[in-house]
Chain A
């Protein structure tokens, strides 16, 4: 039977892919190359809302303890790889005595709080995202622990999440009014919490699969309203552009559960969505590598370089993720033997069969880190 020429993709997966492409395009300065202005911005804003939506799907199915465990698992899966790269890279950069590297920046970055001090960073990915996420999760975990909130959310999901969204949005607006945080690029947890809470609210409204027009119109109004309130009057950096992209990416998730695309578009989108964490971690490192390689060739910043960075920034992490995922699947299907871990085991004389393992403890990360 011939492979299909088109396939259906869940809109939330497509939205995730578009967010990542937007982020990489923004960092590749593609907008400036095309339009002489920064019009590709806000991919991570939309990703926060989508992450909130998917996290709510998995976190509110049990007790408050289950929710807290879910927060912890997600936090560790996000932070452990980030922090590992940060330690290695930041230490190298510090040791080499690079310009603008201070001990304060080094330690605050590793402590995951540098977003409160500066918008500069040592590591070559947007460290504010895992920092803001970790701080948000810590704050939420505290609230949930003190208030035992999961049963309330399970019983009254719409009311509870709507309240949370309203409070978070108000917090962002008031904070903007009282404290100009542009010097920190507004990358603070209380300024982005509303994105996450919007994701929870969308989950609550859509979880039963009801999709009447009235409900969709209401949710559309909420999404547009939040974007307008959060990005326009607050003076947020690139506010109008972020508002537009936020609505463009998140709105279709409300209106269409799936989208049919030609396979040549659908499959890359699906790969981008799955490898999104690898893309997030690796793309700026790759950009720097490309720029170092093309510099002797006299190629300066422009459209060709931006397109090259966009392509490499997406393709290389996808290939790396796919190969690693395949290796680990083969490893585990092979009874935990095989080329990939064999070399490691010989080097360290470590065996998964003999290493002590605390009962009930799971690994915090795995090959499907995305």
Chain B
């Protein structure tokens, strides 16, 4: 990785916020010097993710030397403790300045066993501090980077600007693509709302811009800023779904301005890019995620795992390509080996248009089925957003919890309006006012924080109310779910196993067999899992709860 730095030698690599230029040679030399005290064997390094020359140098030198790198959010250092305990990294790398430096970290003296080709450990979206990380190989990064450079038409003459933190996979791809192409990068910590950001962008003549949906929502009010970037060649959007009207807006703006607008889709597990929407089709198909990246392949499967060949039929989106991860890890033990998936079940529902473009329908896990009717939680949020109501929709058993920010409609009125819209009882909707919808650093809704709020209200797991009539209603709902063949109140594999085996706490490493499952309970558990996950593998009864949960789908990168 980054072994082509020599050929770029004295070309500008990065420009810091003070306007100082650093060449490729300087960046690599600085990084190597910072890591000089490391043992030559493959090391696990936790690097602070900052938009500084120190970070870029340490990151490039570490990957060039073949080390395994995890980039973390330095502003949430306390949340990194569980990771340090689980993975026992060889060193921390501090990057708050021009030059990176090593920091000691208490660790297990036993040497780590790490697979040779592992290069990155990435956190899935919104899970900083979670022990579960995605293993990415050097080959994954190289393939994905080459594909992105190819369809963007990036060259060594390009110059980007960091709008994203490098501890997000999208932010890292901006660095990877620019430095692999021999292009240059302006390191900025300013927001698109800050005039200093635009001053930097204009001064240094950036040729491309990368943004998440929130960035473009802000940019819509600042079209003149984009128009002032006379060297702009392309802009990219990823990190979530951009509303179709905004896609149309920026696609039109790009056409008029002579630059190109790329909508992109991906998951951390795909290193992360999976597809892109050809700019010339963005105005006509603003809700599409486009075509697979060069070298990749996408297809749809139904609930039983059969490939869907017809256009317009909704199914789960699958992806295969050289950028598919090397699996997940939960601790240092998992770094030495593990199953490598050949393909990725994205957990997103999609359909294919006759022209080959794919359109997303929503997260599989973002569907709930109260009274057997399928509801897309994202659609509920979008519907309310279009009415000016900022809300976050979460499933809580058979109830749909709506956290509404600010001065939204009164709770009862909103519940009744949703009931009318969905033709479900108003009691299905539990509307809760909230001061502010919690968001992550990439502006996505912090659903884990909301889930904790739900559990604080309902207890863990979310439970039926205490009164006999409420219990009877809950039993009736569950009875109806059973008769209709739905998974009912179980929203996770662990729920199903907990209800079957009566354990207060079910260990996620256990399987149906290890928990004492037998043929008498197998049919019911099998059917519940099928309703939740889709097609089960023949050895489902031996797969751990964690493995079965993974089949249910994972978060967006």
Contacts and interface: CB of A to CB of B under 8 A. Distances in A.
Contact of A333 (B463, B466, B519, B541): B463
B372 A3 contact: yes
Interface in A324-362: 325-330, 332-335, 337-340, 342, 362
A134 interface: no
A274 B527 contact: yes
A73 B518 contact: yes
Given A207-B538, A332-B498, A334-B463, 17 more contacts: A55-B518, A58-B518, A58-B519, A61-B542, A69-B516, A77-B518, A267-B483, A323-B475, A325-B478, A325-B524, A326-B479, A329-B490, A340-B471, A362-B501, A362-B516, A368-B500, A368-B525
B225 interface: no
Interface string B464-486: 10101001101110110111110
A58 B523 contact: no
Interface in A195-225: 207, 209
A288 interface: no
A330 B474 contact: yes
A118 interface: no
A345 to B, nearest CB: 14
Contacts of B314: 1
B518 A326 contact: no
Interface in A5-19: 7-8, 10, 13, 16
Interface of B: 303-304, 314, 372, 374, 397, 459, 461-464, 466, 468, 471-472, 474-476, 478-479, 481-485, 488-490, 495, 498-502, 512-513, 516-527, 538, 541-542
A81 to B, nearest CB: 10
Contacts of B463: 333-335
Contacts of B525: 368
B521 A54 contact: no
A334 B479 contact: no
**5 nearest A-B pairs in the assembled complex, by CB-CB distance:** A54-B519, A326-B478, A326-B479, A8-B304, A339-B471
B518 A13 contact: no
5 contacts: A73-B516, A267-B484, A335-B463, A339-B471, A368-B524
Given A1-B314, A339-B471, A330 B523 contact: no
Given A329-B489, A330-B489, A338-B471, A10 B519 contact: no
Interface core residue of A13, A54, A73 (most chain B CB under 10 Å): A54
B128 to A, nearest CB: 30
Interface string A260-302: 0000000100110110010000000000000000000000000
Nearest to B481: A326
A58 B513 contact: yes
B79 to A, nearest CB: 29
A135 B501 CA distance: 27
A158 B476 CA distance: 46
Contact of B519 (A51, A207, A338, A339): A51
A201 B466 CA distance: 50
A332 B502 contact: yes
B520 A277 contact: yes
Interface of A: 1, 3, 7-8, 10, 13, 16, 51, 54-55, 57-58, 61-62, 69-70, 73-74, 77-78, 207, 209, 258, 267, 270-271, 273-274, 277, 322-323, 325-330, 332-335, 337-340, 342, 362-363, 366, 368-370
Contact of A334 (B304, B464, B481, B482): B464
A332 B499 contact: yes
B482 A325 contact: yes
Contacts of B526: 10, 13
A330 B498 contact: no
A329 B478 contact: yes
Contacts of A270: 485, 527
A261 to B, nearest CB: 12
A330 B146 CA distance: 52
Contacts of B519: 51, 54-55, 57-58, 74
A74 B518 contact: yes
A8 B314 CA distance: 17
A274 B523 contact: yes
B475 A330 contact: yes
B474 A370 contact: no
B538 A209 contact: yes
B58 to A, nearest CB: 47
Given A61-B513, A270-B527, A334 B520 contact: no
Nearest to B519: A54
Contacts of A70: 518
A366 B314 CA distance: 38
A29 to B, nearest CB: 28
Contacts of B485: 7, 267, 270-271
Q: Which of B461, B518, B525, B526 has the most CB of A within 10 A?
A: B518
A368 B527 CA distance: 13
A333 B499 contact: yes
B520 A78 contact: yes
A334 B470 CA distance: 11
Contacts of A333: 397, 461-464, 489, 495, 499
A329 B463 CA distance: 10
Nearest to B515: A362
A78 to B, nearest CB: 7
Contacts of B462: 333
Nearest to B520: A77
Contacts of B464: 330, 333-334, 338
B478 A366 contact: no
A335 to B, nearest CB: 6
B520 to A, nearest CB: 5
B112 to A, nearest CB: 31
A323 B542 CA distance: 29
